[in-house]
């Protein structure tokens, strides 16, 4: 399995890395949170960590820590703009339930 990006998400990451002037790629993971169990954590990766699994999608490296991998393996990440709002959206095949507000999920 793998983690993948849409072209829109890949372009967003490339653009942000270029404006930052440094970084290796996108760090994606989960943390315990909310009423359903987990929420996504997204940041820019400036270094590879010992427990990282590294994927590449559309020319962008994705860094996932070993503890998060089981919860997000197979996820496709998109970047969407709706009016003035913009965000990464996760199509995660492991999600079994989401909370009512959409901030957390259960696998």
Which sequence spans correspond to the domains of the chain?
Answer: 4-106
CATH number, span 4-106: 2.60.300.12
pLDDT tens series, the chain, 107 aa: 689 999 999 999 999 999 999 999 999 999 988 666 888 899 999 999 999 999 999 999 999 999 999 999 999 999 999 999 999 999 999 887 666 555 666 66
Evaluated on CA atoms 72, 69, 38, 83, the torsion sign reads negative
d(CA 54, CA 65): 9
Residues linked to residue 25 through DSSP beta bridges, in sequence order: 45, 61
């Amino acid at each position: 399995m793998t983690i993948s990006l849409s072209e829109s998400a890949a372009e967003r990451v490339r653009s942000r890395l270029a404006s930052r002037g440094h970084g290796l790629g996108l760090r994606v993971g989960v943390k315990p949170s909310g009423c359903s169990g987990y929420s996504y954590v997204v940041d820019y990766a400036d270094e590879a960590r010992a427990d990282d699994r590294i994927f590449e999608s559309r020319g962008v490296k994705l860094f996932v820590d070993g503890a998060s991998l089981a919860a997000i393996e197979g996820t496709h990440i998109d970047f969407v703009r709706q009016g003035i709002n913009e965000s990464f959206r996760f199509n995660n095949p492991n999600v079994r339930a989401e909370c009512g507000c959409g901030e957390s999920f259960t696998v």
